A and B are shown apart, each in its own frame.
Chain A
Amino acid sequence: MRKLKDKILLGLLWFAAFLTVAVLVMIVGYIFYKGIGLISFDFIFGDYSPSGGGGILPMIVTTIYTIVISLLIATPIGILAAVYLQEYAKQGRLVNTIRFATESLTGIPSIIYGLFGAVFFVTTLKLGMSIIAASLTLTIIVLPVIIRTTEESLKTVPRTYREGSLALGTTKLQTLYKVILPSAMPGILSGLILSMGRIIGESAAIFLTAGTVAAMPASIFSSARTLTVHSFLVTQEAGDIELAAAVGVVLIVLILILNLTATFISKKLNKANY
């Protein structure tokens, strides 16, 4: 009985993993199949031209700008907020409410964040349509993800570590950055990678706040177009799926590079603690 059940469950596990991998291969395969033909040195490193034949360098640069700025702002705020909720705040109704609200906000469609950003950052704070306005909007979008995943990984740090450290007369803060955060690092990192994905994949919130200017941004106060917005525009208006897929290929490579970098950095951080 149990054995049969085990076999079925194991079969399901394999099947689920197979499905996931198959979907992964199909999607990435499709994007490469459609897009690889357009990929060339000029396509990646050339400047953009609206009349065709240009490259997407400005979008690559803009994309990197938005990732870096949003994460630079969201990572510390998100992690520290999670630390507050998990380690400092008295667990109770208020914290649970905050947690609940945070979770619920992950479901708000990004276009609403975009409209909010357009009203608040672009118009009210007079940042104009700019990379910085978009990054601030993205910060709000990824905060819940960072907070929740960080909280979860903090929860998994054994209490004995906290006790062991505090019993040595260290402060909460010292315990936090010497013992707790390093132990929680893998979980925090995977949250950051997810957030990075969310930032990279975002379009609606960005084109309402950063706009779609297809030129090399002069500064973070310039209006600009990210890779994803580019692929969104070419699908929506021109129906140019090859071009959208080619942008997708570049994005996938970019994500790969960023993920590897993140993993590398976390390994370095871990080493530093040994």
Chain B
Amino acid sequence: GNDSAGDETEASGGNVHTLAISGSTSVGPLAEKLAEKYEGNNNTKIEINQIGSSAGITNAINGVSEIGMSSRELKDEEKESLQETVIAYDGIVVVTHPSNKVKNLTMDQVKDIFTGKITNWKDLGGDDLEIVVVSREDGSGSRDAFQEIVGYSSGELIKSAIVASGNGNIKTTVATNKHAVGFISFEYIDESVSPVNINGVEATAENVLSQKYVLSRPFLFVHVEDNLTNEGQKFIDYILSPEGQAIAAESGAIPVQ
């Protein structure tokens, strides 16, 4: 499969090949940065569309895009037609309002908060404030990963939880509400929110790599075997190369070993 696609490109000589990638809005920014560096050195134009994991996977399946980006695990029926490559990991961190005194939680406490068993910060050593839970939307890769690791299901999530779409919206919501707790990717942490340690372990890339910090999820590139061109393969290779992984680390993701 690769060959025929490769022939096509070679036949067209030095023409610029356009590599269409679409999918997850979480993977997108990282992919854009990688593409920017890569395009500088290679005769390839990379088009990245951040339209959501499912849309990207669909595009990859029906050939609209060569590569799909996903921040969620593939479902079984999707796995039948798609190849997946983990290009990096994304650490997930629990965040609160900067004024919140609670800086450490156990995994069980996190679960109790998100399932509504603990409803006041004073039970966790904080001020007497009701807890407002902020979650991502059902189906989101972050949420899937977070729930799986923490150990509760979507059905158990407290009903009154605010559901925000995207890391940015969780961050903004938590940053403007003293009661709030949510979870976001490492790369979006800044001083507007306060990160919480889990079981006393700080949320850092090193701790994820050393497997002391367990809240993380994979960033996936997926493609249909026959649709991937040489250029596509080369870009994936580049990402997995030390240079590519360095860029990933720089932009807040956790490199694959």
Binds A, one of B101-109, B123-131, B163-171, B235-243: B163-171
Closest Cβ neighbor of A244 among chain B residues? B168
Q: 8 Å CB contacts to A: which residues of B136-168?
A: 165-168
Stretch at the interface among A153-161, A186-194, A208-216: A208-216
Contact B51 A208 (CB under 8 A): yes
**Which of A215, A234, A237, A240 has the most B CB atoms < 10 Å from its CB?**
A237
Q: Which of A19-27, A75-83, A122-130 lines the interface with chain B?
A: A122-130
> Which single member of A51, A212, A215, A239 contacts B50 (CB below 8 Å)?
A212
Nearest CB in chain B: distance from A137 CB, A:
14
Chain B: interface residue total (CB-CB under 8 A): 31
Report B-chain residues with C-beta under 8 Å of the C-beta of A272. Answer: none
CB of B53 within 8 Å of the partner chain: no
Q: Which of B1-47 contact A (CB under 8 A)?
A: 20, 22, 25-26, 28-29, 32-33, 35-36, 45, 47
- Chain A residues with CB below 8 A from B33, complex form: 50-51
**Dominant SS at the A interface?**
loop
The residue on B at minimum CB distance from A210 is B49
Q: Are B36 and A50 in contact (CB under 8 A)?
A: yes
Assess the A51–B188 pair: CB atoms within 8 A: no
A164 to B62, CA, bound (A): 59
Enumerate chain A residues within 8 angstroms of B48, measured Cβ to Cβ.
212-214
Of residues 225 through 241 on chain A, the ones whose CB sits less than 8 Å from some CB of chain B are 233-241
- The answer to whether B49 and A207 have CB atoms under 8 Å apart is yes
Interface size on A, residues (CB 8 A): 26
Q: What residues of chain A lie closer than 8 Å to B55, measured between beta carbons? A: 118, 208
The B interface is mostly helix, strand or loop, or mixed, namely helix
Give a binary string over B158-196; 1 marks a CB under 8 Å from any A CB, 0 the rest: 000000011111111001000000000000100010000
For A91-134 the 0/1 string (1 means CB < 8 A from B) is: 00000000000000000000000000010001100001100000
Indicate if the CB atoms of A236 and B35 lie closer than 8 Å: no
| 8 Å CB contact of B26 from A207, A234, A237 | A237
A98 to B55, CA, bound (A): 33
* List of A residues within 8 angstroms of B45 by Cβ: 215
Do residues B35 and A212 form an inter-chain contact, with CB atoms below 8 A? Answer: no
Which B residues lie within 8 Å of A49 (CB)? 36
Q: Looking across the interface, which residue of chain B has its beta carbon closest to that of A50?
A: B32
Chain B residues with CB under 8 Å of A241's CB are: 172
A223 beta carbon closer than 8 Å to chain B: yes
A233 to B251, CA, bound (A): 17
| A239 pairs with B49, CB closer than 8 A | no
Whether A50 touches B29, Cβ cut-off 8 Å, given contacts A239-B169, A240-B168, is: yes
Contact of B62 among A50, A123, A215, A233 (CB under 8 A): A123
Starting from the known contacts A123-B64, A237-B168, A238-B29, 6 additional A-B residue pairs (CB-CB under 8 Å) come to A50-B33, A129-B20, A211-B47, A212-B49, A233-B28, A240-B168
**Can you list 18 residue pairs at the A/B interface with Cβ under 8 Å?**
A50-B36, A51-B33, A122-B64, A123-B62, A212-B48, A215-B45, A223-B20, A236-B166, A237-B25, A237-B26, A237-B29, A237-B168, A238-B167, A239-B169, A239-B171, A239-B188, A240-B168, A241-B172
